[in-house]
Amino acid sequence: MEKVLITLTAYLSMEFMAWFTHKYIMHGWLWILHKDHHHKESSGFFEHNDFFFLIFALPGIAGLYFGMIENFNSYFWIGLGITLYGFTYFFVHDILIHQRFKFLRNIENKYFKAIRRAHKMHHKHIHKEHGECFGMLWVPLKYFKNSK
């Protein structure tokens, strides 16, 4: 049970980390990597923004690795929570919202509609200033009301 709680806590904590890094780092000093996600500058499938996948994957990988070599201690379960959040983020952001992979479309679910609406409001700002809705899974209630 302790391992499940550690994993779940790490997973849920990543939503705050995603919000914080999106608002203050991606829309701050690393805007140079994130800006083509708001206004496409790169050609091809990949964006400069995709480097954040590698940046965010490193703590999860490190936790999994160091926890595994130490007999699956708490670092492993923290790394698992981070990694599971990464998979969730990829699924929600790249597949459901931006549809970079075209196999899931038009999901009729109020929660997913609210997430898409909030993210759309985030992307209406093509510059790093004046943004809104920096999180991913935690959606302000007003977007549920508009997602019928």
Question: For the segment 104-130, what is each residue's pLDDT rounded down to a tens digit?
Answer: 666 778 888 888 888 888 777 777 777
Burial degree of 31 (CB within 10 A; 0-12, 13-18, 19+): middle
Percentage of residues in the chain with pLDDT exceeding 90?
36
Chain mean pLDDT for the chain:
86
Find which of 21-25, 47-51, 71-75, 93-97 is predicted with most confidence, using mean pLDDT.
71-75
* Tokens 């597949």 -> residue: 95
Weakest mean pLDDT among 22-36, 51-65, 100-114:
100-114
CA distance to 30, 89, 90, 104, per residue, from 97 (Å): 22, 10, 10, 10
Predicted TM-score of the model (pTM): 0.86
CA distance to 8, 66, 98, 104, per residue, from 86 (Å): 13, 18, 16, 18
Cα angle value 69/75/79 (rounded, 5°): 105
